[in-house]
Amino acid sequence: MDANYLKEMLKIGTSIDHNFIDEFYDILFDSNTIFCINLDTILEWLELNRKEFVKSLKNKKRFKENTDYIVRTNVEGTHHRKKEIWFTKEAF
């Protein structure tokens, strides 16, 4: 039984949101990078507040930066920088 078959069965046989299934399978089976899970995706899935989650992430020390997750700064335009946090599959 391959991953695509299971993915389609989940879509047909459950009430799980199809977008969630697609995103989850893309991460699980198609990702070739170590840090492949974007924090914003997790926050959307779990309906969590970004500020509170990041605060908890840093205070709990359960996850180690550059081992379990990395922080990237993206430059959007010329005046705005956004920090992105990316997790490994194992950390998630």
C-alpha span between 36 and 27 (Å, rounded)? 7
37, 15: one domain: no
Q: How many residues does the chain have?
A: 92
20, 56: one domain: no
Pairing outcome for strands 35-38 and 69-76: unpaired
Whether this prediction's pTM lies above 0.85 is answered by: no
62, 43: one domain: yes
3, 17: one domain: yes
- pLDDT tens-place string over residues 8-34: 999 999 999 899 888 888 887 766 788
48, 16: one domain: no
44 burial level (CB within 10 Å; 0-12, 13-18, 19+): middle
| C-alpha torsion 63→74→89→28, nearest 10 | 160
Whether 78 shows a pLDDT value over 60: the answer reads no
Q: What is the pLDDT of residue 49?
A: 92
Mean pLDDT taken over the chain: 84
